[in-house]
Amino acid sequence: MKLMNFILAPDSFKGTMSSDEVCDAMERAIKKNIPDAKVSRVPLADGGEGLVNALLRICGGRRVTAEVSGPLRDKMNADYAILPDGTAVIEMAACAGLPLVEDRKDPLHTTTYGVGELILHACAEGCKNILLGLGGSATNDCGIGMAAALGYKFYDSAGSELEPSAENMVKVSLIKTPDTRPDVSFVAACDVDNPLYGPTGATYTFGMQKGAAGETLELLDAGLKNMAAVIKRDLGADVALTPGSGAAGGLGAGVLAFLGGTLKPGIELVLDAARFNDLLADADIVFTGEGRIDWQSAHGKAPVGVAMRAKAKGVPCIALCGSVGDGAEAVYEKGITAFFSAVRGAGDFEQIKKTCKEDMYLLAESVVRTLMLSVS
Amino acid sequence: MKLMNFILAPDSFKGTMSSDEVCDAMERAIKKNIPDAKVSRVPLADGGEGLVNALLRICGGRRVTAEVSGPLRDKMNADYAILPDGTAVIEMAACAGLPLVEDRKDPLHTTTYGVGELILHACAEGCKNILLGLGGSATNDCGIGMAAALGYKFYDSAGSELEPSAENMVKVSLIKTPDTRPDVSFVAACDVDNPLYGPTGATYTFGMQKGAAGETLELLDAGLKNMAAVIKRDLGADVALTPGSGAAGGLGAGVLAFLGGTLKPGIELVLDAARFNDLLADADIVFTGEGRIDWQSAHGKAPVGVAMRAKAKGVPCIALCGSVGDGAEAVYEKGITAFFSAVRGAGDFEQIKKTCKEDMYLLAESVVRTLMLSVS
C-alpha cells in the first residue's frame, strides 16, 4: 500500500482530549516518521459542543448573530454559522433550547418560531443550503412555530387562524402553505429515531424533561398525532413514523413537512460538510478514534460512521482510542481494520489524563511504523 | 510484504502470563485471521525459571539426574537436561546454588565441585556441547571446585597440593592441567558484566548475600586476584577483567580458564539453542513482548535480543507487551518496529491480571489485521 495521504477523523475523548488534541498527537507521530505525509484533519466533535462549533472548527467560516424570538417569544440574539461554501448551520437550541428557559419550562407554549427567523436570516444572507442541528430542544411544537415564521398558516375546524403553538396543535384542521418558499435545501442532523407520537414518540420520550406531565403529555401527544394527519392531507408528507420525526419535540417532522428537508445522522451531516468523500478519494489510510471503543461503537457513533465511508471507498481505517471495551470486535465488519488503546499500563483515570497526549503520540507512532512495513 | 511465517518469541509477563500463554494468545489471533499461517514458538523464559526448564520447554529433550556433590560436599541428586541435538544444559545452581545451603552459608568452603561432576556425567552421556547457566550461586570459588572434579590440581608455594576451596585460592601458586580434558565445547549464559575481583568484582558485589563479611570478603577477593594471576601464567588465560568473569562467584572466569568456554548473554544462548537464526531465514515477521517495555529494554533484555537478530536478517519485529514504560522509544534502533500495550483502559493490576490473556489476543488480532493491510 501507499502511505502518504492520511485522514485524521477522531471523535473527542471524553474527559481527556479534544478531537483537535487527538489530531495533534496523531499528526506529530505521522510527520516525524513520514515528513512529506499529507495530513487532512477532520476533528469530528468535541464533547457537548453543538453543530455550529463543530463545523466552524472543521470547515472554517463565520459566525452570524441575528435577533430572533426565543423559546418564550422574548427577543434574543442567537448565533449561527455560514461556512466558506455559503452553507448555513443553524442549531435549533440557539433560540429554542432547553437551557434558555431555565425554570420557565412551558411545553404548551415554547416555540420554534425563532428557528424560522434564523432560516429567513440565512436566506437573506444568500445561503442556499442550510444544515440544522436538532438537539436540546425546549419545545414540543412539531416545528409549527418555525413554519409560521416562514409563512405557513394554521386554521381550526371553524376556519379561524390559530396561534402557532404546541397547545393549539390538536385544533389544527387546515394548513396553508405560503405562496413563496425559500429556494433552499435543508438537511437536519438527527441522532434519535423516535417517531412523531405515541409511546416512543417525541412527547412521551422527551416531554417530561421539558416540563410536561399528566394531561399536558396527553394533549401534546394528541396534538402531534393530529398534526401528522393534517400534514399528510394538506402537505402530502407522511411523517408520523419516519425515524427521527420525533426529534426536538417533533421538529424532525417539521423539517420533513415544512422545509422539504431530510434527516441524517449527525456524523453523516458533518462528514458531508467536511467533504469527507472527496478527501477519501486521495487517502491511503484513515485514523479515527474515540474515548472508548466497544460493542456500542458499531451502532452509529462517529468512528464507525467514518469507517463505513472509508470501507465503501476501499480505504483502510484504524481506530486509535482511549480505551477498548468489551465487544469492540463488532466494529471490524463496519470497516475498522484494527483498534488500539493508547493506555500504556495499569493506572487510574486521573493518571491517564496526565499522560494521554504523549500516550496517543506513542501509539500513533507505533501504528504508523507498523504500516510503514508495508511500503518498505 | 509476505505475511505467512510468524515467529513468536516473547519473554514471560511477570505477574500475569507465562511466555507460553503469551504465545497461545498471539497464535490464536494469527490463526483466526490467517488460517494457513506457519507459527514458530520460542517462548523465551518464564519468570524465575532456569536455563534447563527454559530450553526443555523451547527445544524439548530429556531431564537427567546425577548424584553429585552439593555446595557443602554432601551428596545430592541434581538434574540437568539433554536436548534433542545432544547438547547438555547444566545449571550451576542445581548443585551449587544459594537455596541449597539455606542457613549454612559458608563462602570459604562452598564449592562448585558438583558442577564438574555434572559435566563429567554429561560427557559420559556423549554430549559434545554443554551449555552452562551461571546464576544463583552459593559459591565464590572461581570454579576451582569444578576444575578439581575435572582433574585440575592446585599447589601452594611449598609444592603441596591444596584442597580446591575458596579459602585456599589465595595460596595457589601453581595450577596443573589434567592430561586429558573432555572434547566438549562450553558456552555459559551470563547476564552480569562484573570483572573477577576488585570493588565491582564477584566478592564485593555478590559475596555478602552468600554470607561473606569483613575479613572473609578481603580473603576471597585476594584469592580471586591471586587465581587470576596464576591462571594467566599457568593456563595462558587473561580472565581478570573479562566482563562476566565475576559471575557466579568467579565461575565465569572458571568457564573461560578451565573449560576454554565462552560467556554469552542468556538470551543469545537461548536463541542459539532454539536455532533462532534458522527460523528467521523463513520468517516474515517476529512478535516479541515482555511484561513492561521501557528505556531499560534497550539494554539487553530478551525482546531486544530477539529484535537485534531479526533486524540483522531484515525481518520486522513488533513488541506486544503488558505495559509500555517511559523511554521505550529507545528500542526502535534495536530493531523493534513498534510496541504496543495490551492494556485496554484504566484499571489496577489486579483487574488487568483477570483479562490479560483476552487483552493480548485482541491486541495481537489488531496488529495482525494492520499487517494484513500490506498484503491485501
CATH code: domain of residue A279:
3.40.50.10350
Same domain assignment for residues B235 and B96 = yes
Cα four-point dihedral sign B263, B269, B273, B278 = negative
What count of other Cβ atoms lies within 10 Å of the Cβ of residue B130? Answer: 23
Convert the pLDDT of each residue in B80-90 to its tens digit: 999 999 999 99
Q: Looking at beta carbons, which residues of chain B come within 8 Å of A339? A: 366
Contact between A202 and A166 under an 8 Å Cβ cutoff? The reply is no
Nearest C-alpha of chain A: how many angstroms from B343? 6
Q: Looking at beta carbons, which residues of chain A come within 8 Å of B349? A: 346
Nearest C-alpha of chain B: how many angstroms from A374? 5
Which of A177, A93, A87, A69 shows the shortest CA–CA distance to A125?
A: A87
Q: In angstroms, how far is CA A298 from the centroid of its own chain?
A: 18
Q: Is the ipTM of this complex over 0.95?
A: no
Task: Give which of A294, A366, A376 to mutate to test B binding, by max B Cβ within 10 Å.
Answer: A366
Nearest C-alpha of chain A: how many angstroms from B13? 13
Q: In angstroms, how far is CA B35 from the centroid of its own chain?
A: 35
Q: Looking at beta carbons, which residues of chain A come within 8 Å of B370? A: 318, 337-338, 367, 370-371
Q: Which residues contact B330 (CB under 8 A, 6 or more apart)?
A: B295, B297, B298
Task: Give which of A344, A349, A376 to mutate to test B binding, by max B Cβ within 10 Å.
Answer: A344
The residue segments making up the domain with residue A327 are: 5-42+274-375
Beta-carbon contacts below 8 Å between A and B: 109
Shortest CA distance from B317: residue in chain A = A370
Q: How far apart are CA B189 and CA B51, in angstroms?
A: 8
Shortest CA distance from A315: residue in chain B = B373
Radius of gyration of chain A (CA): 23
Q: How far apart are CA B352 and CA B359, in angstroms?
A: 9
Contact between B185 and B119 under an 8 Å Cβ cutoff? The reply is no
Pick the last residue of a domain from A266, A286, A319.
A266
Q: Looking at beta carbons, which residues of chain B come within 8 Å of A29? A: none
- Note whether A337 contacts B370, CB cutoff 8 Å: yes
Q: Looking at beta carbons, which residues of chain A come within 8 Å of B324? A: 344-345, 362
Shortest CA distance from B323: residue in chain A = A345
pLDDT of residue A251: 98
Q: Looking at beta carbons, which residues of chain A come within 8 Å of B1? A: 373-374, 376
Same domain assignment for residues B56 and B31 = no
Say how many domains are in chain B: 2
Same domain assignment for residues A63 and A34 = no
Nearest C-alpha of chain A: how many angstroms from B374? 5
Same domain assignment for residues A344 and A259 = no
Q: What is the CATH number of the domain that holds A92?
A: 3.90.1510.10
Q: Looking at beta carbons, which residues of chain B come within 8 Å of A286? A: none
pTM score, whole prediction: 0.87
Same domain assignment for residues B147 and B292 = no
pLDDT of residue A182: 87
Same domain assignment for residues A79 and A165 = yes
Contact between B190 and B265 under an 8 Å Cβ cutoff? The reply is yes
Same domain assignment for residues B136 and B33 = no
CB nearest to A352's CB, from B318, B346, B370? B346
- Note whether B370 contacts A370, CB cutoff 8 Å: yes
- Return per-residue pLDDT of chain B as tens, 376 residues: 789 999 999 999 988 999 999 999 999 999 999 999 999 999 997 666 789 999 999 999 999 999 999 999 999 999 999 999 999 999 999 999 999 999 999 999 999 999 999 999 999 999 999 999 998 999 999 999 999 999 999 999 999 999 999 999 999 999 999 999 889 999 999 989 999 999 999 999 999 999 999 999 999 999 999 999 999 999 999 999 999 999 999 999 999 999 999 999 999 999 999 999 999 999 999 999 999 999 988 886 789 999 999 999 999 999 999 999 999 999 999 999 999 999 999 999 999 999 999 999 999 999 999 999 977 5
Same domain assignment for residues B178 and B234 = yes
Pick the last residue of a domain from B266, B288, B305.
B266
Nearest C-alpha of chain B: how many angstroms from A26? 15
- Note whether A366 contacts B341, CB cutoff 8 Å: no
Which of A318, A360, A369 shows the shortest CA–CA distance to B338?
A: A369
C-alpha distances (whole Å) from B178 to each of A346, B215, B231 are: 57, 33, 14
pLDDT of residue A284: 97
Give chain A's residues under pLDDT 50: none
Task: Give which of B343, B348, B351 to mutate to test A binding, by max A Cβ within 10 Å.
Answer: B343
pLDDT of residue A50: 85
Same domain assignment for residues B199 and B343 = no
pLDDT of residue B326: 94
Same domain assignment for residues A128 and A233 = yes
Same domain assignment for residues A236 and A311 = no
Contact between A10 and A19 under an 8 Å Cβ cutoff? The reply is yes
Convert the pLDDT of each residue in B311-331 to its tens digit: 999 999 999 999 999 999 999
Task: Give which of B329, B340, B354 to mutate to test A binding, by max A Cβ within 10 Å.
Answer: B340
Q: Looking at beta carbons, which residues of chain A come within 8 Å of B352? A: 346
- Note whether A367 contacts B338, CB cutoff 8 Å: yes
Pick the last residue of a domain from B266, B287, B311.
B266
Same domain assignment for residues A120 and A183 = yes
Q: How far apart are CA B329 and CA B78, in angstroms?
A: 43
